[in-house]
Amino acid sequence: MSEPVLEIRDLRKSFGALKATDGVSLELHPGQIHALIGPNGAGKSTLIHQIAGSLRADSGTIRFLGQDIGGLDMAARARLGLARSFQISSLAQEFSALRNVMLAVQARQGSSFRFLRQVTDDKDLTEPAMAMLERVDLAARAHVPAAELSHGERRQLEIAIALALSPKAFLFDEPMAGMGPEGSKRLTSFLDGLRHEAPMLLVEHDMDAVFALADRISVFVYGRIIATGTVDEIRGDPEVRRAYLGEAA
């Protein structure tokens, strides 16, 4: 089997008495979409925060492309190739959609310590950024400030920003949240194609999307993974059915 892109070993994080992450281990392999499911408060987002670097784990290791990234801050991890989307959209609100993506293109190209050339006529920034907006069907709204975009458009913009980083792995935290059935369906088929660009850790509550996309699923309950397996294995797992899926599966 191939080397994992992302490898998490015995990760632990407590908030006071609450064990938000309680000995989590998982691997993300090339070409895979690995879904994290589980009830609200099970610790899925907390795990994403620790991988992305916005929260520090109490113990355990996170290896990305063979390197221990536990001591790196969020920006350094992003530069290594971890691209995340946020559960609640996190954008530069006054900037247009295009400028938001241009920021990611600029970050990927290296130095932000350039003081002369104007970004608005810098084709090295505008053209790749526009291409990313086209990929997520947002080109028509390129010049609208992020604050004026609809909820669904902001989710699309988050994905365009992640794409612009040409990452080595995606961390998507509920990208479908609040998208509506039509939007979810379109986003599902879009994410389906992304696994070949980079593997994806996907936190999602939309079970139709998860079952359609995931190569592997890990089920979280109270900060622990109670089962990991293929879609069929998870659907058939009696413990998972009892803890989370209920009769819906």
Partner 1 sequence: MSRETTINLLFALLLLGAPLLAAGMGEPFYVTLATRVVVLALAAVGLNLALGLGGLLSFGHAAFFGLGGYVAGILATHAFNAEPLIAGIPATTSMPLIWITAVVVAGLVALPIGAISLRTSGVYFIMITLAFAQMIYYFAISWPAYGGEDGLSLSVRNAFPGVNTAKPLPYFLICYAALMAALLLFRVVEGSRFGSALQAARQNGTRLAAVGIEPFNIRLVAFAVSAMITGLAGALYADLNRFVGPSMMSWHMSGELIVLIILGGKGRLFGPVAGAMIFVLFEYVLGGITERWQFFLGLILLGIVLFARGGLLGLLSGKPRHV
d(CA 14, CA 223): 9
- Smaller CB separation from partner 1, 18 or 76: 76
d(CA 205, CA 191): 15
Listing from the earlier edge strand, what are the strands of the sheet with 67-68? Answer: 18-28, 6-15, 59-64, 67-68
d(CA 219, CA 151): 28
Q: Which residue has the tokens 């053209």?
A: 127
One of 103, 159, 179, 198 touching partner 1 (CB under 8 A): 103
One of 93, 150, 189, 230 touching partner 1 (CB under 8 A): 93
d(CA 35, CA 160): 20
- Smaller CB separation from partner 1, 57 or 227: 57
Report whether 201 contacts 2 (CB < 8 A): no
Report whether 57 contacts 50 (CB < 8 A): yes
How many residues at the interface with partner 1, by CB under 8 A? 42
* Residue 96 beta carbon to partner 1: minimum distance, rounded to whole angstroms: 5
The tokens for 233 are 């294995």
Q: Which stretch binds partner 1 (CB under 8 A): 26-34, 78-86, 178-186, 237-245?
A: 78-86
* Residue 163 beta carbon to partner 1: minimum distance, rounded to whole angstroms: 12
* Residue 135 beta carbon to partner 1: minimum distance, rounded to whole angstroms: 17
* Residue 105 beta carbon to partner 1: minimum distance, rounded to whole angstroms: 9
One of 12, 60, 95, 249 touching partner 1 (CB under 8 A): 95
**Given the rule CB under 8 A, which residues bind partner 1?**
52, 54, 73-76, 78-79, 84, 86, 90-96, 98-100, 102-104, 106-108, 111-120, 122, 125, 143, 145, 161, 165
